[in-house]
């Protein structure tokens, strides 16, 4: 690790050097500069990994230095050290992509942690960038990767897109056409997957023949669709003509296809910064609306009042049909809300959260089955609302299977624990609900598991243990029958006597006399 320290105070530079001397950081070289101008001269010579700079310095301040140095040092990370706690300084530093902002006096541990984290971030960026550079794919592939990365998080491992595109794609107007390739429902799915890849390849090649060479375009698969993004100078007339021509070409291609059909959506954005993001989103939204809204299929007459608890109950009892119908009703009701796909997307996002949450809570991570619960595909992967509901139901059905399997194992252990508890606490209130809460199981589920494990019901087992204990007490002459009733959990002596006679065929008094005679 190479570190450049920039500060006009000699004692501060030496202090930082001293803090790093005994640390576990893999420091190979430390270079010092007394101001921003001197530091700029050292950058190309030493190529530091981490730059630690003060803000207030003569000749050139730290923020101006960072602004000029950023383009020279690639993935190097900047850490600002300052005695000024003014938020404006920190805000400006972060705007210039400084990794951290540390206030003087410097705490050694804080400085070392900041350097360690900055260095790890640098290595991650270098690794990502190296992977892209080493790729045997063409520049077109790198452009596609950049666009997808930008759409996902408005950031990229490629710091200067101008080098990749020839100019900054974020400063151009954007036109996007999103395409979904459909096959007959009866087609072999493996064959469909291969043919879709071939169709996407054909569309890319077809577009190459007519798109002007001076116009930048990127074809990429994102959110379940093949997207054609065209970037051009800001001119509303030209953009409209460009979109119209693109749609004509795609429709012309669709008429020539024999084995599949095409559905499209499109979007235009004339923003002067980052027009590509809204253009792609508009295009995908238009396509989703065409697939899930404008298909003539009837929506439910009334909106389903969604309740997580209801779905949980279906999962707990293994009601597969209930799971499917409830998911289907929830998705259709969401789509019916304002007849738009925005609510549908919110609902599917929420279902993904439930799948992750319940998988963590209910499925043992040590089991292989944990990895088999797959998240649903993007919306446009599904043909219509029915196949979407089926796709989102599948993980919940899998969760139900795993949950019930785990509960069977847990239930056996719970029954053994419960039997020990009943034998030790037979005089307490032993209701099924209380015992179910004690072992963290649903009462109905515990009742089923208890009977499977013991061959008898929970109530019958409690009665058996209590009557056995009552028989033991009755053999002791000094304890009254009313006291024995209370000892084994019954306040009503008459009710106790009735249960005892049903169990042993004689009253408690008769049982006592018969055993005392034998003794």
* Global confidence as pTM: 0.53
Tell me what the mean pLDDT of segment 295-301 comes to: 55
Domain limit, last residue, from 245, 263, 291: 291
pLDDT of residue 136: 42
Kindly report the backbone phi and psi dihedral angles of residue 182, in degrees, each rounded to the nearest multiple of 5, phi listed first: -110, 140
Q: Tokens representing 333?
A: 């009701």
Which pLDDT score, from 0 to 100, does residue 492 have?
A: 92
Which of 405, 435, 469 is the last residue in one of the domains? 405
111 in any annotated domain: yes
Do 127 and 14 fall within a single domain?
yes
Question: For residue 293, how many other CB atoms are within 10 A of its CB?
Answer: 17
| Residue 299 belongs to some domain of the structure | no
- CATH number for the domain including 240? 3.30.70
Strand order through the sheet with 216-222? 216-222, 225-232, 173-182, 261-269
Nearest-angstrom CA–CA distance, 518 and 482: 23
Strands across the sheet containing 77-82 = 29-33, 2-6, 50-53, 77-82, 100-103
- Both 329 and 282 in one domain: the answer is no
- From 358, 381, 405, the end of a domain falls on 405
Question: Is residue 396 one of the residues assigned to a domain?
Answer: yes
Nearest by Cα to 185 from 383, 438, 419: 383
Average pLDDT of the residues of the chain? 81
The model's confidence at residue 467, banded by pLDDT at 50, 70 and 90, is very high
Any idea what the Cα angle at residue 334 is, between residues 329 and 338, rounded to 5°? Answer: 135
One domain, residues 397 and 418: no
Residues 335 and 399 in one domain: yes
Question: Same domain, yes or no, for 120 and 85?
Answer: yes
- 8 Å CB contact between 252 and 245: no
Q: Tell which residue, 187, 141, 186, 181, has the closest CA to residue 164.
A: 141
Per DSSP bridges, beta strands 77-82 and 100-103 are parallel
Q: Are residues 343 and 253 in the same domain?
A: no
Contact between 470 and 449 (Cβ < 8 Å): no
Integer Cα distance of 56 and 407 in angstroms: 64
Give, in order, the Cα–Cα distances in Å from 67 to each of 31, 33, 464. 20, 17, 83
And the tokens for 47? 């190529």
Inform me whether the pLDDT recorded for 408 exceeds 70: no
3-state helix, strand, coil in the chain (%, to 5): 60, 10, 30
Structural domain for 506, as ranges: 409-518
Residue 97, CB-side half-sphere exposure with 13 Å CA sphere: 15
Residues 125 and 263 reside in one and the same domain: no
Structure tokens at 250: 């795609």
Q: Do 365 and 499 have their domain in common?
A: no
Whether residue 300 is contained in a domain is answered as no
Which residue has better confidence, 452 or 458?
458
Mind listing the pLDDT tens digit for each residue in 115-143?
A: 988 888 888 877 776 665 555 456 777 88
Domain count, the chain: 4
List the structure tokens of 276: 């590509």
Inside any domain, residue 229: yes
Tell whether 148 and 124 lie within a shared domain.
no
Tokens at 228, concatenated: 């054609």
Is residue 297 in some structural domain?
no
- Are 320 and 415 contained in the same domain? no
């Amino acid at each position: 690790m190479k570190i450049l320290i920039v500060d006009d105070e000699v004692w501060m530079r030496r202090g930082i050097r001293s803090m790093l001397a005994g640390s576990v950081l893999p420091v190979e070289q430390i270079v010092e500069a007394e101001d921003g101008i001197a530091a700029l001269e050292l950058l190309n010579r030493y190529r530091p990994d981490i730059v630690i700079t003060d803000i207030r310095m003569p000749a050139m301040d730290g923020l101006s230095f960072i602004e000029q140095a950023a383009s020279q040092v690639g993935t190097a990370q900047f850490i600002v050290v300052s005695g000024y706690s003014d938020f404006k300084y920190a805000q400006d530093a972060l705007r210039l992509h400084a990794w951290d902002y540390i206030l003087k006096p410097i705490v050694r541990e804080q400085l070392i942690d900041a350097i360690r984290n900055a260095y790890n971030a640098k290595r991650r960026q270098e690794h990502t960038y190296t992977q892209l550079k080493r790729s045997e794919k063409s520049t077109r592939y790198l452009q596609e990767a950049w666009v997808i990365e930008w759409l996902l998080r408005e950031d990229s491992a490629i710091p200067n897109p101008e080098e990749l595109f020839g100019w900054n794609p974020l400063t151009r107007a954007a036109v996007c056409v999103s395409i979904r390739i459909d096959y007959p429902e009866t087609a072999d799915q493996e064959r469909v997957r291969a043919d879709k890849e071939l169709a996407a390849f054909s569309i890319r090649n077809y577009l190459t023949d007519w798109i002007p060479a001076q116009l930048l375009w990127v074809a990429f698969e994102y959110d379940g669709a093949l997207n054609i993004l065209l970037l051009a100078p800001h001119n509303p007339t030209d953009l409209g003509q460009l979109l119209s021509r693109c749609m004509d070409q795609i429709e012309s291609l669709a008429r020539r296809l024999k084995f599949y059909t095409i559905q499209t959506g499109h979007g235009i954005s004339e923003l002067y910064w980052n027009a590509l993001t809204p253009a792609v989103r508009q295009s995908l939204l238009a396509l989703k609306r065409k697939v899930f809204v404008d298909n003539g299929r009837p929506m439910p007459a009334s909106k389903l009042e969604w309740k997580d608890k209801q779905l949980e109950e279906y999962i707990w009892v293994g009601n597969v049909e209930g799971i499917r119908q409830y998911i289907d009703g929830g998705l259709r009701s969401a789509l019916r809300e304002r007849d738009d796909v925005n609510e549908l997307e919110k609902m599917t996002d929420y279902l993904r959260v439930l799948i992750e949450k319940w998988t963590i809570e209910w499925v043992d991570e040590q089991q292989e089955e944990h990895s088999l619960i797959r998240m649903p595909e993007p919306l446009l992967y599904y043909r219509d609302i029915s196949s979407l509901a089926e796709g989102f139901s599948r993980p919940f059905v899998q969760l139900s299977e795993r949950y019930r399997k785990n509960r069977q194992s847990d239930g056996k252990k719970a029954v053994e624990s419960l039997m020990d508890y009943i034998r030790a606490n037979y005089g307490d209130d032993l209701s099924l609900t209380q015992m179910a809460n004690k072992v963290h199981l649903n009462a109905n589920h515990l009742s089923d598991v208890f009977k499977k494990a013991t061959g008898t019901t929970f109530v019958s087992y409690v009665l058996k243990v209590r009557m056995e204990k009552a028989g033991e007490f009755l053999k002791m002459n000094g304890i009254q029958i009313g006291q024995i009733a209370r000892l084994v959990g019954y306040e009503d002596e008459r009710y106790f006597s009735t249960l005892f006679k049903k169990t042993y065929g004689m009253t408690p008094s008769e049982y006592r006399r018969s055993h005392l005679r034998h003794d």
